[in-house]
């Protein structure tokens, strides 16, 4: 039986996102499919610095990964108020 990997989207490039993304990449059951940031340059640099898979999509808007069909779950490593605002916008 083949296990399906959980495909994550990361919303934001905060320092905690580095730790979370490393854990995701070490897990055999997960992969990173997308990252969104307020800056495309910052998201691109973050993905490269943290060795995201080549297949990971990079966006210059935080909310864009919400509508990706290849993202199953999200990590929102933002301050509480921002995380709430970003999280509620995807509802």
Domain boundaries, the chain: 6-75
Distance CA 53, CA 91 (A): 27
pLDDT tens-digit profile, the chain (91 residues): 457 889 999 988 888 889 999 999 999 999 999 999 889 999 999 999 999 999 999 998 876 776 788 889 888 776 555 544 555 455 4
Question: Which class would CATH give 6-75?
Answer: alpha beta
């Amino acid at each position: 039986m083949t296990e399906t990997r959980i495909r994550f989207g990361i919303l934001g490039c905060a320092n905690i996102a580095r730790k979370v993304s490393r854990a995701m990449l070490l897990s055999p059951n997960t992969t990173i499919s997308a990252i969104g940031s307020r800056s495309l340059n910052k998201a691109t640099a973050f993905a490269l610095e943290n060795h995201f898979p080549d297949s990971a999509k990079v966006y210059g808007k935080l909310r864009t990964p919400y509508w990706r069909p290849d993202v199953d779950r999200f990590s929102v490593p933002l301050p509480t108020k921002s995380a709430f605002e970003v999280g509620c916008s995807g509802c």
